[in-house]
Amino acid sequence: MKSKAKSIIMSAGEYITDMIGLIYPKICMACDRPLLKHEETLCTFCIYSLPKTSFDTQNDNPVSRLFWGKTEIEGAASYFHFEKGGHVQQLIHRFKYKGFKEIGFEVGKHYGTELKNAAPYNTSDIIVPVPLHKSKQRKRGYNQSEFFAAGLSQAMKIPTDFTSLYRAKATDTQTRKSRFERFENVESIFQLKENHPLSGKHILLVDDVVTTGSTLEACCHILKEAGNKVSLVTMAYAK
- Minimum Å gap between C-beta 43 and Zn ion is 3
Does 192 bind Zn ion (CB under 5 A)? Our answer is no
Q: What is the DSSP string of the chain?
A: -HHHHHHHHHHHHHHHHHHHHHHS--B-TTT-PBPPTT-BSB-HHHHHHS-B--GGG-SS-HHHHTTTTT---SEEEEEEE--TTSHHHHHHHHHHHSS-THHHHHHHHHHHHHHTTSTTGGG-SEEEEPPPPHHHHHHHSS-HHHHHHHHHHHHHT--B-SSSEEE-------TT--HHHHHHHHHTTEEE-TT---SS-EEEEEEEEESS-HHHHHHHHHHHHTT-EEEEEEEEE--
Q: Give whichever of 46 and 198 is closer to Zn ion, judged by the CB atom.
A: 46
- Contact indicator for 209, 236 with CB cutoff of 8 Å: yes
Does 205 bind Zn ion (CB under 5 A)? Our answer is no
Q: Give whichever of 9 and 27 is closer to Zn ion, judged by the CB atom.
A: 27
Q: Give whichever of 43 and 127 is closer to Zn ion, judged by the CB atom.
A: 43
- Minimum Å gap between C-beta 49 and Zn ion is 8
Q: Give whichever of 40 and 125 is closer to Zn ion, judged by the CB atom.
A: 40
Which range touches Zn ion (CB under 5 A), out of 43-51, 140-148, 153-161, 219-227?
Answer: 43-51
- Contact indicator for 153, 127 with CB cutoff of 8 Å: yes
Residues near 161 by Cβ (< 8 Å), separated by ≥ 6? 126, 127, 128, 197, 198
Which range touches Zn ion (CB under 5 A), out of 4-12, 20-28, 183-191, 207-215?
Answer: 20-28
Does 206 bind Zn ion (CB under 5 A)? Our answer is no
Does 31 bind Zn ion (CB under 5 A)? Our answer is yes
- Minimum Å gap between C-beta 97 and Zn ion is 19
Q: Give whichever of 47 and 226 is closer to Zn ion, judged by the CB atom.
A: 47
Does 186 bind Zn ion (CB under 5 A)? Our answer is no
Does 43 bind Zn ion (CB under 5 A)? Our answer is yes
Task: Please state, in angstroms and rounded to a whole number, the distance separating the CA atoms of residues 106 and 128.
Answer: 17
- Minimum Å gap between C-beta 105 and Zn ion is 17
- Minimum Å gap between C-beta 29 and Zn ion is 8
Fill in the amino acid letter for 154. Answer: Q
Does 28 bind Zn ion (CB under 5 A)? Our answer is yes
Does 189 bind Zn ion (CB under 5 A)? Our answer is no
Does 30 bind Zn ion (CB under 5 A)? Our answer is yes
Does 46 bind Zn ion (CB under 5 A)? Our answer is yes
Binding site for Zn ion (CB under 5 A): 28, 30-31, 33, 43, 46
